[in-house]
Structure 1
Amino acid sequence: MRRWVGKGRHAVASLAVNTLEAANRRRERTTPPPSADQVRFLLLHAYGMGGTIRTVFNLAGYLAKDRDVEIVSVLREAEQPFFPVPPGVRISYLEDRLEPPAGVRRLLAGRPSRLIPAEEAAYHRFNMYTDLQLARYIRSLNTGVLIGTRPGLNLVAASLAPPGVITIGQEHVTLQGHAEPVQTMIKRRYPQLDALITLTKADLRDYRALLRRKPRKLARIPNAVPPMTGGIADLSTKTVITVGRLTRIKGFHRLLDAWKQVTEVHPEWKLRIFGAGPQEENLREQIETLGIGDTASLPGPTADVGAELEKASIFVMSSREEGFSMTLLEAMKKGLAVVSFNSPHGPKEIITHDHDGVLVKPRTVDNLAAAIIRVIEDEPYRRHLAGNGLKTAAKYDNNAIGAQWDALFEELLQPRRPRPARPADQAAT
């Protein structure tokens, strides 16, 4: 019986693919020339707080200087976006979760998504209603550029975008951070994208190795450092700072263990961990257990990262794994000395050890504590790191990175080769 059910699902998937291909062939006859005058970002939750959201807002603001730019949020779970919306950028949403479900939405919202892979990290945020809304929205487009910002949305854009739409997948985390089934689907569907953009050189190498067939353009464009309020830190404040989601992967539990050693030597220094997330209660309990409540604090999230960085002298990154870290570059731009666990997919590409920051062997609490203590005690060294960090951050200026996106759009406006055939499994996920 199971074999026949499997065959039935495959037949339905094949029929869906054939129907979509036929519709695309019909649309190709009336498709306008490719255009980059309209740019649409697909974002899971534009109203929330996080590095991907902030960097998408930043890029959208640059592109909106001479383009029509919209950020399409799959979900709306807050009255207003956490981050300021850049001038010229519109925010829309596909499902308003501030309103109780009714009608078709009530029927579909309780059913699991079929468009997003079950192993995708945010799969639980999607449902069959968001599937319907995503499909309707993407198929309503005629032209312009559509940019996905996570694997599930990239896969949907690759599968459903009409022939006149330029599709770009943007990866904000490492390839190795995706579950194997997601990597398998990436291998099948990402070649249908017009471009795939990674943030790091290491990730670009991984995608080149994985994808036997490539999108038209496979390239690395790092995030730009967004504008920040205030000026440069004067490095006189006895404060160490870090910023990020309070999740296990950020390694703040290790930072607190290291801080226990630091505060025993330098009790006059303070540690401030800005952010919110599921580990908050555990971290507060750890602070109490370690007896470091007088020197370590969790002030919560902040919408003005620049203002908080300016009040500190040292920035620490304790992540177990890290992609291209925007907060690391923001700390450099603010003139802080940075200390980070080493990682080939982010910090190692940004930091030159002992030049513009300190790289520490990953997950080693004693080494992290020793590095922080060295930067605290050696003021000339601290100022050496901070000064060179300012020069490094300048390479990621908004206009410099934005120009790379302008060049990408120009390249993608050139005549396109036919997209590869869509995989028959797309409707069965």
Structure 2
Amino acid sequence: MHISFLLHNGYAIGGTVRTTYNLARCLAEQHDVEVVSVFRTRERPVFDPGPGVRLRHLVDTRGMRAPTDIAPEHALPAQVFPRADGKYPMYSELTDRLIGEHLATTDADVVIGTRPGLNIHLARQTRRGPARLGQEHLTLATHSRRLKLVLRAAYPKLDALTTVTEADARDYRRLFRLPGVHVESVPNSVPEPDVSPSDGTSKWVVAAGRLAPAKRYDLLIRAFSQVVAERPDWRLRIYGGGREHDKLRALIDERKLYNHVFLMGPTHPIEPEWAKGSIGAVTSSLESFGMTIVEAMRCGLPVVATDCPHGPAEIIRSGVDGTLVPTGNENAVASALLTLINDDELRRRMGRAALADAARFDPAHVGARYESLMQELTGRTGRGLHRTRGSLLSGAYAVKDALRNTAHGALQSGRTA
């Protein structure tokens, strides 16, 4: 099968880029896979798409000082890419034309869009033949009313729409009229890290992500001041960059936590830093999925997370492999952290459970679900399957068995440790 992803910027740092490459790399083991990046902003991509994935771009913005440095068309506003998509200022008549030419001439069996504006291009410009699969990495609830109106008109032209949580899939089924469109939730995938998992003995709490208001690191810092009052031997590392940095730095100083809370800046790869900790923390007011939760769990950390829409409750089994607390509740965050800090055996047991349970997000498992969906779509549109080296789907049950055995073995070792 020839699978073509359409991505905003495959050379940047971002959750959508990372999860797209995780999926593409897995599918490329059996299929012909390309990633078409609308923009190229640096010489090499930050994340490795994988040896079997072809990466190409449509617009090279390296060294650009003004849109006309590329082409006069790039100074004119886009007409296809919707104004309501937050990336609209970067798009133009040039991107409209180049994306349209790509979609009108592609020989792919399946074309996959990775953000709302690109899904609009898929719906309106893909030639007859390829199956059109739109991915939503955000949530319907966070889209503006204006964007919802545009999507409501365009999404019925897709063959399938995937969301990263079942809660979001239910919203699309309930609020949009999508006759004939397969709406399915498929979580983001996170590969097994190339580091030894945490043994739960270090005295570090770890958090990671953009320093943005929705991540509520201010809440985490205030909660950690309560932790320090009882357990001054524990510390917190926060990885990531963003516009909240100075505000958070001031809060750390105000609370006199400069010896206990550390803003570490962006770090890649992040897995070794998770593995140095014993507890993960996510205090967001909103998560479209919760990649950092899964990343921490895959490194053997139980995660204390706010039970915000939409993702955490679909990832964490509270009291088993992590803890869910009410959103915005500083005292609840502090109490949950202290419960794990003060009980070594509980912390290590939940860490082992987190490691086992997170195996269900392995790319092989998620890739098998996508392949099953794409086989259905290509059968529906009448396209042949240009197979290469076998089938992920044929191995899906073996993958499930392996994951089940891994989880069982890890839990058993946890009981006997």
- TM-score, length basis structure 2: 0.87
**TM superposition shift of 1:124:** 2.5
Q: 1: distance between equivalents of 2:162 and 2:317? A: 24
Instruction: Tell me if 1:89 matches 2:57.
Output: no
State which of 155, 170, 181 in structure 1 corresponds to 2:146: 181
Q: Output the CA distance in 2 between the equivalents of 1:202 and 1:292.
A: 37
Q: Deviations over 1:287-343 (max 9, x none)?
A: 222221111112111221211111000000011100211221121121111100002
Q: Using the alignment, how far apart are the partners of 1:113 and 1:370 within structure 2?
A: 50
Match of 1:218 in 2: 183
Matched residue count? 381
Q: Where do 4+ consecutive residues of structure 1 move more than 6 Å?
A: none
Contact kept, 8 Å, 2:68 with 2:74, in 1: the verdict is: no
Q: Which has the larger radius of gyration?
A: 1
| Contact 2:130–2:378, Cα closer than 8 Å, also in 1 | no
Matched AA of 2:11: Y
Alpha-carbon distance in structure 2 between the residues aligned to 1:155 and 1:198? 16
**Match of 2:266, as an amino acid?**
P
Which of 99-108 and 307-316 deviates more? 99-108
Instruction: Tell me the distance in 1 between the aligned counterparts of 2:32 and 2:199.
Output: 40
Question: Secondary structure of the equivalent of 1:395?
Answer: helix
Residue 359 of structure 2 is matched in structure 1 by 394
- What residue is the counterpart of 1:412 in the other structure? 377
Report the CA distance shift for 1:279/1:132 in structure 2 as closer, same or farther (over 3 A). Answer: farther
Closer, same or farther in 2 for the Cα pair 1:279/1:124, shift >3 Å? farther
Query: 1:87 is matched by which residue type in structure 2?
Result: P
2:89 paired with 1:128: no
Q: Which residue type is aligned with residue 351 of structure 2?
A: A
SS in 1 for 2:57: strand
Q: CA deviation at 1:285?
A: 2.5
Q: Give me the whole-angstrom Cα distance separating, in 2, the residues matched to 1:214 and 1:309.
A: 43
Aligned residue for 1:59? 23
2:129 alignment counterpart? 164
Q: Find the counterpart in structure 1 of residue 13 from structure 2.
A: 49
Q: Which residue of 2 aligns with 1:98?
A: 62
How far does residue 215 in structure 1 lie from its aligned partner after superposition? Answer: 4.3
* Aligned residues of 1:229 and 1:304 also touching (Cα < 8 A): no
1:260-339 superposed matches below 5 A: 260-339=225-304
Give the % identical residues: 37
In the alignment, which residue of structure 1 is the partner of 2:396? none
Task: Name which of 73, 78, 88 aligns with 2:37.
Answer: 73
Q: CA RMSD in A?
A: 1.7
SS of equivalent residue, structure 2 residue 98: helix
* 1:97 Cα deviation after fit: 1.3
Q: Give the secondary-structure state (helix, strand or coil) at the position aligned to 2:300.
A: coil
Which residues of structure 2 form unaligned runs of 5+? 383-417
Which is worse superposed, 170-179 or 325-334?
Answer: 325-334
Cα distance, 1:238 vs. partner?
Answer: 0.5
* Residue number among 160, 183, 192 corresponding to 1:195 in the alignment: 160
